[in-house]
Structure 1
Amino acid sequence: MKTVADLTARLRELHQQTQETPLFNPAFQLSLDLSRELEARKISLDDIERMIAELECGSLKSRAGRLRNNLAPVSPEANDAALAELGGDDFDTFRARWENPGLHAVFTAHPTFLLTPEQTEAVARSASSDADISDDTCVATFERPTISLRYEHDRAMHAIGHAQDARDRIVSNALGQAAEAFPSKWYEAKPLPFRFASWVGYDMDGRTDIKWFDSIGFRLSEKAQRLERYVASLEAVDDTHPLLETLRNALAYSQDRASDFREDLTEPAALSKAANTLTADHPHKLLSLAPVIELLEAEALGADTGRAIGLKTLAAAMRADGLGMGWIHFRVNSSQLHNAIRRRIDPDNTLDLGSKGAMATLRELLGKVQPLRSNFAALAIESSTAIRQFLAMAQIIQHIDGDAPIRMLIAECEQPSTILAALYFSKLFGIEDKVDVSPLFETETALEHGGRFLDALLAEPIYQQYSRKRGRVAIQTGFSDAGRFVGQIPASLAIERLQGRLAEAMKDNGLTDVAALIFNTHGESMGRGAHPGGFADRLAWPLSAWTRRRFVRAGIRLEPEVSFQGGDGYLHFATPELALATLTRIATLDPAHTDPDAPTDQFYRRTDLSLDFYRAVRKHQRDHLESQTYSRALTAFGLGLLNSTGSRVSRRQSDLSADRDMNLRQIRAIPHNAILQQLGYPVNIISGIGSAADGNYEDLAALLTESERGRQLIRLVRASNALASIKTVAAFGELFNSAYWASRPYRGTESHLSDACETLAEYLTKDDRTGVFRRLASRLRVDALKLHRLLDMIPDESPLDDRENIRRSIGALQALRLTLLQHMFLKAVSIPAFSRANDISRNDVLEMVFTLRIDDALAQLRRAYPTSFPGLDNFSVDEPSDYPDGAGEGYTAIQRDYIDPLERAYKLSLRIGTAIANQFGAHG
């Protein structure tokens, strides 16, 4: 078998055998067929690589097709036409439609940079056209770039640049339509249809590699980049415009300051020089665009229509973004804030910060706090992460951009006192009127008790005063840890209820005069809160029509905000066409509004069914999470099935026993979901739905069929289930089956592998992974039987196109990877034994291979079997020597026959992982 056609044909034959033998595993049998041919040298790694390349090509084309289908139409002309229908018949309607952001889009940099830049460009280019998606999409790049924080920041700014251009086009077209429809009034319009923001370079939750001066440097570079784009926009209107000198001078000044802060400023002298230059008065130091916007708007009043539209479009961009590529979000963990506030109110660590006493102390502290001046030296010497972030924000507002507010996101925020602590530091450093403090609700505890949290917080007079000053109540709901620890569907339903409780709390506490900013952070994958059923589902899944109606009926203006995360999310803005299509879909779907008089969805009326359903799915997901079987299966290969996809990576344990004892909480949400994809079954989406229906199939099926929210839920489950394979999960366990290896050379077959198979069989007699995977597969199968029974009763609204071929492609990829893993296992045990050195033994290296810590294993093997040595010619010694008398080849043969194939097989297996993720539509 040397072609993909051979593989899929063989897989089709093997699947037929499951009718006769239900336990028969087609994926593993195909991998055995391939493994026998590979070890007998009937096929080579070159042949396997060619098959992987063909399947990789198909996966990239699938990725491009999925992206285009979600955003269609993608032609600029079609999207211009769609937007032209949104203006309204009167000027007040026009202004209401365009002058409040329909969405805030946040460009975050979670580690999902799976595709190389070349692959990203190829996929985006194909998705940007209505032409057939061709093999031009198939870019095979073998060297992945080092994904540093600066790389992520550059990618984010590139995506935001396209988003800004698309917004300018939308604003310009809207103004043109207004000028035609309302010639005497249109110039009063101040469009602001979208806001953009980023936390790349400012997110300190869970990482220590971002220095405070990195954040300052990033903000200065963003200022310079935005000013450069403002200059280009004004030049396009009038390349002799008098304001160009002001903007160009500010640009040059900002570029110089950004260069200052790109240096290492750990030494006091270096910091003092950079800080003094930035903080000194300078005629080109632009801190506010308000005067510039005022001049542009004034000039537009007396200009001809074309020029006026250009000037007002630029003013709109300035009003939206300020002196940066967008707004910025700092993020800290609640524990960091707790540590900081204890220094002020509880140095002896005796006070419960969740107590009424702590709240009373904080109220008193907030009532009498006096702002303190701060400078870069204070920032440099501060040891507390949380306080350092507030000091950094103060310097940014004072010396870089005085207009744009800054979001302070607080992860794992479960106590109102945490918010008061953040308000205290905001007031302490004089930035309370520029900082939006936003608690993140993501953990099971936070979601379960979030309603009471909001009731208590919004009842605080100090918080009410603060929110009115800012004009909004801001919260963040996250789908990462929620989807991991609660399950994606229970998490979405819990988040929905929490959002509804926010509407109630704002109404009950008289805060209907401020906006509700709800930031839903999710990834692009179906396992992290981005629904795969199209853009309407993508927007409604995290902020449902039911939730929006709660705010509309309470008279509260909504400010919806979503994230576009990492390489997956940035694909939506990778080209001008895709950026315009993305913003057009958002504008036409209008996620900030809904019909307040729409009839109530039965999913919310029949709580006797829906609430029991939610609880049953959540319990099923929790049982998995608490199960040693699930934990062991998910960590069986450590993180070795995954490419490195970001600058914030999950720490690999250094000791060999750690992989066996690894707790799921040591794996972050993205790799957790990504491993589930690679094992073949997205447990955190699918599992529990069938079991929750057990005993009540008809009633639940009827509810889910007649409810839009219910059908949306089922669309998510079907999309995931269409790609899932429990047989694949079971196949991974057979790699560790001692009986398999002992039987493989049975009756004289593959006698050349007898020694290696015997070694593997003996080594794996005590390994637990075969039983773990079998038990997990059995549990998944029982639940899946019930799920299929439920799905049979519900119409399939959007069946996956070409489903069987896609499943066959994934099956072929999984079989090829299982083949490569068997090849790696055989090579590892066939390497001659070496002496113990530096506490690393041969068995240690084998365990590294079995847990796919291949880089570690290769490093030890190359140390044990070096291929290059110092020669006599390297020394200037007078006395002659006849020794060494051999060719001095060292261990070249071992390198060639064992170590190099092991490395190559692993690299090929990682390419397979990328292809599988592409079929799922995202990484993790």
Structure 2
Amino acid sequence: MDIAYLDERLRELHGRTTETPLFNPVFQLAHDLSRQLEAGELSLNDIENVIADLEVAALGERASRLSRMVQPLDDSSNEAALAESLGAGDFTAFRNRWERPCLHAVFTAHPTFLLTPDQSEAVATAACQNAKIDKTIVGGERPQVSLSYEHERAMRAIAHAQDARDSIVSQLLSHARDNWPDEWHDITPLPFRFASWVGYDMDGRTDITWSNSVGFRLSEKAERLQRYTASLEAIDADHPMLAEMRAEAAYAAERAQDFAADLSDPAALSIAANRLTASDPRKLLSLSQHISKLEEEARNCDDAARAIVLKTLAAAMRADGLGMGWIHFRVNAKQLHNAIRRRIDPEGNLDLASKGAVVHLRRAIADVDPRRSNFGALAIEASTAIRQFLAMAQILQHVDADAPIRMLVAECEEPATVLSALYFAKLFGIADQVDVSPLFETESALEHGGRFLDELLAEEVYRDYARKRGRVAIQTGFSDAGRFVGQVPASLAIERLQGRLAVAMKANGMSDVAALIFNTHGESMGRGAHPNNMADRLDWPLSPWAKRRFARAGVALEPEVSFQGGDGYLWFATPELARATLTRIACLRPSETDKDVPKDPFYQRTDLSLDFYRAIKDHQREHLESRTYSRAITAFGLGLLNSTGSRVSRRQSDLSADREMSLRQIRAIPHNAILQQLGYPVNVIAGIGHAAEGNYEEIAAMLVESPRGRELVRLVRAANALASVKTVAAYGELFNSAYWASRPYRGTEKNLTTACESLSEYLVKDDRVGVFRRLASRLRVDAMKLHRLLDFVPDEAPIEGREDKRRMIGILQALRITLFQAMFIRAVSVPVFSRANDVSRDDVLEMVFTLRVEDALAQLRRAYPTSFPRITRFDLNEATDWPDGADEGYEAIHRDFIDPIERAHKLSLRISTAISNIFGAHG
């Protein structure tokens, strides 16, 4: 058995659907393989070999997609592409364009570390060099994804991004020197700014301590100072600034080491804190003098090449400060509410959603008396939100006094929440260096966000604060929005909110400050948002329509996007990829737009587009609120997924409640990853066809004429190209009592008679087969309508090798269903054991059926141990005939049942990785 055989077999089985539409090729292939496995004609070794080949092929698909998105990859082509976009017109215009970041890139780290380090490296190398991927990199143990691991990978990606930005800055300076030789020294390029929230994001997790955050920031300072020093050494090994910079880097490394230790003991913390806060000639809190010296030297240097590299180093210092980039802290609105009540409403009588609360906070901010703080205050503070402000205060006072810090507020739905954050920023004396940024992500936040922004910007205290900061900062995200209203409605709701911000800023006389909009991209077709090309990827979360609203309001725009976890870091996995990625972005200029382009029909024909949007959103909500959808998505719990991050994928709840698991218990990324694994990206595709019903031609005409409409269609086509309703239905058949009862029918598979009878009897009352059938039927009806719509819309970006990819996924799905059947058969075949610790054999079966396999195996190993007290350990004179070797039966139980279940489960998780790679990302 090999991939070619399975591919041909699946092709044959697909042909049979013309004979009987209900025929399921994926499940039939799984059944064929299961029969061979149980008959001994096929082994788990054989299956593992095929899975390994498919894993390698899927990694190759991932590499091809990565290369396609950013090509060309060679330095000369990227230099030429950037040069072509620069022009040689007015110096002032050139300077204005390149002294403001065209993009802020944030390196975030939610659980998307799907690939091992070796696999990430192999994908990146294959993308850059068109190299073959070696089979030896699959099948090994996956490393535990810790917070430290995530931080290390983030810093590695940022380092490559910094080097790529240096190359672009150097080219910009060379261009300026060649075209404006008398003025070029006046330009200070800043094409990109980088940031990270890895180690600072407290939303939804309690495992990040304040000392983690301070320690990470100190380690980033040490690393960046070392990199600055290395850059200067490369320019001039005898440069007079080197001695000073080496001492500063060494001091920062010493302090980072102090805070890497266990600081739970007040004595240990006191020593580390006192060292950090003490005066020391090596203690550097600002790079301003270093930047001035480098730029002065460059201005007075006769060697133009040396002047360029000196100014490039100064530009890097100006962009990053005393760290690998800027940092984002994040808290939840509820954490802020709890904290502010302690200060201004200890009796809990104030409704923070009321206008009275805003009046109260307005007065409190005006009257606030700034408080000093130290590391002791930070160590004993119980409130998460206040602790974050205290940590920021210590970082700004003792680590980097120049680089501002973002305070992201999740689930922020009231202006009072932002004012609460502003109150604490003023209370601890850091309001001039902290950008408070509300996150609009939930359906409610997006729906009411326009009112929120109108009310917030009407507050004089907020306007004064924003003017001092030079920007209004907000965050719009797809994760929860995309989960609860669908990816397409989320994108359209987000851009309307962005447009409302432009209107509110103009209406409140704030055109003199910038709008910094952080778009966390979200799932769509993977964490990269739009899978078609880089232009679509940048437009999807911040559309040209939204950008034109800011341009017409006279508001400067600072777009910011996330590159998230193992998926996002691939764009910067090598110097070549980093340079290509930033060059594509620099050429596309996502911060700019032509405000005079013809109006997009999608926004003109609101009689069609608004109804279209609402119908899709309503359809998505019906799925979300449907017991059928919820039960199907949670049928296997989270057991279809690998552990891919240090943040838990599931919100805390009773593990015994899997059967009634709510979708809201599963975070957004794993929710979407489950959709990939079940074979149908519901939150991308569902509702598009339904929304066009009865008006296909007119809707299609609008989409074809509209740039935004065509972009939407490209996303839907990309998802639909890999989607399979038959696969969704196939998973339901695993729980079909009739299937198991029929397997040994007419004398076939007699060796499975007992197991199949037990499974059939156990599953006769199980609801999952009906649930999956109903969901598949709903998806099929909607898909038929979608196909009718797409018949009227030309395919602008046909998927290369579409059918090959679909069959590859189909083979992987069939193999996994085969493994699940093997697990079910062996689980039900384990001899009955006595009830212990309130865990029965049926409980263990249900654990296997919901893929809580590790829990099930733990119970089985406890019931059937292989390690016993040995009689030979005793030195006794009296003879015994007992024990007589009966414990050997337990060894056989492990060999025949427990170990195969464990192996089948591990193989199924390798299949999960391969499927995600074909989709292009995890979740």
TM-score normalized by the length of structure 2: 0.98
**1:189 aligned residue:** 187
CA shift in 2, pair 1:127/1:528, >3 Å: closer
**1:399 aligned residue:** 398
Alignment check: 8 A CA contact 1:656 1:844 kept: no
**2:199 aligned residue:** 201
Any residues of structure 2 matched to 1:406-421 within 5 Å, and which? 406-421=405-420
Structure 2: distance between partners of 1:276 and 1:873? 60
1:883 Cα offset (Å): 3.6
Range moving further from structure 2, 619-628 or 863-872: 863-872
Match of 1:291 among 278, 289, 292: 289
1:54 Cα offset (Å): 1.3
**1:462 aligned residue:** 461
Any residues of structure 2 matched to 1:143-182 within 5 Å, and which? 143-182=141-180
Any residues of structure 2 matched to 1:283-322 within 5 Å, and which? 283-303=281-301, 304-322=303-321
1:57 Cα offset (Å): 1.3
**2:120 aligned residue:** 120
**2:871 aligned residue:** 872
Q: What's the secondary structure of 1:866's corresponding residue?
A: coil
**2:707 aligned residue:** 708
**2:255 aligned residue:** 257
Q: What's the secondary structure of 2:448's corresponding residue?
A: helix
Q: Which runs of 5+ in 2 are unaligned?
A: none
1:889 Cα offset (Å): 3.3
Alignment check: 8 A CA contact 1:867 1:890 kept: no
Q: What's the secondary structure of 2:330's corresponding residue?
A: strand
Amino acid at match of 1:183: P
**1:899 aligned residue:** 898
**Does residue 448 of structure 1 match 2:444?**
no
Structure 1: distance between partners of 2:210 and 2:617? 40
Alignment check: 8 A CA contact 1:126 1:137 kept: no
Structure 1: distance between partners of 2:591 and 2:134? 39
Any residues of structure 2 matched to 1:226-237 within 5 Å, and which? 226-237=224-235
Alignment check: 8 A CA contact 2:63 2:124 kept: yes
Structure 1: distance between partners of 2:738 and 2:557? 61
1:537-579 Cα distance to aligned partner (Å, 9 max, x none)? 0000111111111111111110000000000000000000000
Q: What's the secondary structure of 1:112's corresponding residue?
A: coil
1:314-333 Cα distance to aligned partner (Å, 9 max, x none)? 00000000000000000000
Amino acid at match of 1:789: R
Q: What's the secondary structure of 1:336's corresponding residue?
A: helix
Alignment check: 8 A CA contact 2:412 2:445 kept: yes
CA shift in 2, pair 1:874/1:401, >3 Å: farther
**1:797 aligned residue:** 796
Q: Alignment identity in percent?
A: 72
Q: What's the secondary structure of 1:86's corresponding residue?
A: helix
Amino acid at match of 2:80: A
Amino acid at match of 1:18: T
1:266 Cα offset (Å): 1.4
**Does residue 686 of structure 1 match 2:718?**
no
**2:428 aligned residue:** 429
Structure 1: distance between partners of 2:526 and 2:569? 18
Q: What's the secondary structure of 2:902's corresponding residue?
A: helix
Amino acid at match of 1:326: G
CA shift in 2, pair 1:85/1:620, >3 Å: same
Structure 1: distance between partners of 2:292 and 2:626? 62
Q: What's the secondary structure of 1:587's corresponding residue?
A: helix
Q: What's the secondary structure of 1:636's corresponding residue?
A: coil
Any residues of structure 2 matched to 1:455-854 within 5 Å, and which? 455-523=454-522, 526=525, 530-651=529-650, 657-854=656-853
Alignment check: 8 A CA contact 1:99 1:192 kept: yes
Structure 2: distance between partners of 1:529 and 1:460? 36
Structure 2: distance between partners of 1:75 and 1:529? 22
**2:273 aligned residue:** 275
Q: What's the secondary structure of 1:473's corresponding residue?
A: strand
Q: What's the secondary structure of 1:128's corresponding residue?
A: helix
Alignment check: 8 A CA contact 2:527 2:567 kept: no
**2:246 aligned residue:** 248
**2:33 aligned residue:** 34
Q: What's the secondary structure of 1:410's corresponding residue?
A: strand
Alignment check: 8 A CA contact 2:523 2:669 kept: no
1:524 Cα offset (Å): 6.2
1:856-879 Cα distance to aligned partner (Å, 9 max, x none)? 011111111111222234456676
Q: What's the secondary structure of 1:839's corresponding residue?
A: coil
TM-score normalized by the length of structure 1: 0.98
Structure 2: distance between partners of 1:614 and 1:525? 16
Structure 2: distance between partners of 1:652 and 1:345? 31
1:659-717 Cα distance to aligned partner (Å, 9 max, x none)? 11111000000000000000000000000000000111111000001100000000000
**2:236 aligned residue:** 238
CA shift in 2, pair 1:247/1:406, >3 Å: same
Alignment check: 8 A CA contact 1:742 1:761 kept: yes
CA shift in 2, pair 1:58/1:293, >3 Å: same
**1:379 aligned residue:** 378
Structure 2: distance between partners of 1:190 and 1:627? 56
**2:918 aligned residue:** 919
Structure 1: distance between partners of 2:917 and 2:136? 12
Range moving further from structure 2, 259-268 or 218-227: 259-268
Structure 2: distance between partners of 1:767 and 1:655? 21
**Does residue 100 of structure 1 match 2:100?**
yes
Structure 1: distance between partners of 2:132 and 2:643? 28
CA shift in 2, pair 1:481/1:565, >3 Å: same
Q: What's the secondary structure of 2:473's corresponding residue?
A: strand
Structure 2: distance between partners of 1:473 and 1:166? 28
1:725-774 Cα distance to aligned partner (Å, 9 max, x none)? 00000000000000100011000000000000000000001100000000
1:187 Cα offset (Å): 1.3
1:891 Cα offset (Å): 1.2
1:882 Cα offset (Å): 5.1
**1:216 aligned residue:** 214
**2:71 aligned residue:** 72
Alignment check: 8 A CA contact 1:35 1:819 kept: yes
Q: What's the secondary structure of 1:513's corresponding residue?
A: coil
**Does residue 55 of structure 1 match 2:65?**
no
Q: What's the secondary structure of 1:891's corresponding residue?
A: helix
Q: What's the secondary structure of 2:769's corresponding residue?
A: helix
CA shift in 2, pair 1:718/1:81, >3 Å: same
Structure 1: distance between partners of 2:444 and 2:468? 30
1:86 Cα offset (Å): 2.9
CA shift in 2, pair 1:661/1:840, >3 Å: same
Q: What's the secondary structure of 2:888's corresponding residue?
A: coil
Q: What's the secondary structure of 1:796's corresponding residue?
A: coil
**1:345 aligned residue:** 344
Alignment check: 8 A CA contact 1:118 1:141 kept: no
CA shift in 2, pair 1:873/1:372, >3 Å: same
1:839 Cα offset (Å): 1.2
